[in-house]
Amino acid sequence: MKQDVSVNDDTSLDHFQPGGYSPYRIFSAQEWSKFRADTPLTLTEDEVRRLRSLNDPVDLDEVARIYLSVSRLLSAHLEASQLLFRQRTHFLNAENATKTPFVVGIAGSVAVGKSTTARILQELLKRWPSSPKVDLVTTDGFLYPNAVLRRHNLMERKGFPESYDIGQLLRFLSAIKAGQPDVQAPLYSHMTYDVLPGEFQTIDRPDILIFEGINVLQVRDLPADGKIVPFVSDFFDFSIYIDAPEDLIHRWYVERFMRLRETAFKNPQSFFNRYATISHDAARAVAEGLWQNINLKNLRDNILPTRPRANLILKKGENHLIEQVALRKL
C-alpha cells in the first residue's frame, strides 16, 4: 500500500513519524510494476545479460517489474518539459530557440548497481517509438588524473567530491545544456584505474543525456557574497538515487572485489593486478580495508546525505533487486 514516509533516516525508507511530512510517496515493487501500463518490453534476456554489471543479477523480469515503469515516468517528464519549452518559446516570441537535452542524473554508492541501471534505461529510452538519441556519460572521466591525486595526497580519497575536476564537469554540462554540438567528455579506464589522456567521448546534442556517478547530487558550500555557485544537479531535469542498506552494499562491494580478483585483476595491465596473486584471505582483508577506510566514509559523509535530493529513489534488498520505490511528490 502507498504510504508517506520520511527518507531522512539513514538506514531505511520505512522510517515513518506519524503526523510528519514527507516529500515522497512510497511504493512496493509490486505496486510500482503496475505503472508500466502498456509500455512494451523491448529488451531480450541476452541484451539484459550484456548490459548488467558483474555480480548484478538483474534480469528481464526485473526490467519488466521496475524499469519499464521508470521509462514511462521519464517519458511523461520529457513530454512535460517539451510542452513547457514550446509555451515559453511562444511567451518569449523566440521561434528560433532550440530545445536542449533532457538530462537524467543517476547517483548512489559504489557496488549498488548504478551502471546497470543507467545502461538499461539508456536502451529502453532509445527504443521509444520516437527513437530519441540517448547518450550515457559517467563522472569517472572527470576525476583528476592519478598523478594529480598523488601530488595532492588524494589517492585515498578517490571518488570523494574533492577528487573531481568540478570546473571541467560544470563546463561540460553547461555546454550540453546550451545545446552545443560535439561536446567532449573525458574517458576513464577501470583497467588502469586512471583517466585516459587525450581520449574523449563526443556528445552531439542528444535528446536525452544520462549522467551517472556516485556524487552527482552533491552540493557545495555557498559563498557569503551571494555569487552564483552552480551545482552539478542544477543541470538535471530528473534525478534517480539507487539505494540499499549499508550492510548489503558492504557485502556486494567485497563480493565484487573477490570476483574481479579472479577475472579482470589477472590482466597484467590492471592497476589491481597485485591483488590477483595474494592469498584469498589477504585479498579479502584488502577489500575490507578499502571499504572501511574509503568507500564507507564516502557513502556516509558525501553520498547518502544527497539521497533526499533525488526525484526517484530505487531501494534494493537482499537479492540486489528493487524492493521499494520512492517518488517525489509534485
With beta carbons less than 8 A apart as the criterion, state whether 163 and 213 touch: no
The per-residue pLDDT for 323 is: 97
- pLDDT band at residue 52 using 50, 70 and 90 as cut-offs: very high
Residues 6+ positions from 268 with CB-CB distance below 8 Å = none
pLDDT tier at 20 (50, 70, 90 boundaries)?
A: low
Q: Are 159 and 294 in contact (CB under 8 A)?
A: yes
Q: For residue 3, what pLDDT is reported?
A: 47
Q: How far is CA 71 from CA 41, 54, 181, 274, 330, in A?
A: 11, 23, 26, 41, 18
Considering the chain, what is the average pLDDT of its residues? Answer: 92
Question: Quick one: average pLDDT of 110-124?
Answer: 96
Q: Which amino acid is present at 303?
A: I
Residue 17 reports pLDDT greater than 90? no
Render pLDDT for 158-185 as a digit per residue (tens, 0 to 9).
999 999 999 999 999 999 999 999 999 9
* CATH code (residue 195): 3.40.50.300
State how many domains the chain has. Answer: 1
The SS3 of residue 21 is coil
2 compared with 189, residue with greater pLDDT: 189
**Percent of the chain at pLDDT above 70?**
94
CB atoms within 10 A of CB 162: 12
217-242 pLDDT tens trace: 988 777 778 777 788 999 999 999 99
Give the mean pLDDT of 7-22: 50
How many angstroms separate the CA atoms of 213 and 155, rounded? 18
Q: At what angle do helices 68-92 and 114-126 cross, to 10 degrees?
A: 60
Asked if 208 and 78 count as a contact pair (C-beta separation under 8 A), the reply is yes
Residue 96 pLDDT: 82
Q: pTM of the full predicted structure?
A: 0.92
pLDDT tens digits, 271-316: 999 999 999 999 999 999 999 999 999 999 999 999 999 999 999 9
- The strand pair at 134-138 and 208-212 is best described as parallel
What separation in angstroms does the CA of 137 have from each of 2, 105, 106, 247? 34, 10, 10, 28
- Whether 127 shows a pLDDT value over 70: the answer reads yes
Mean pLDDT of 244-257: 97
Residue ranges making up the domain that contains 53: 3-219+227-328
Tell me what the mean pLDDT of segment 47-59 comes to: 91
199's enclosing H/E stretch is strand 194-203
Count the Cβ atoms, other than its own, within 10 Å of residue 5: 20
Q: What is the pLDDT of residue 16?
A: 37
Q: Which three cell numbers stand for residue 177?
A: 545544456
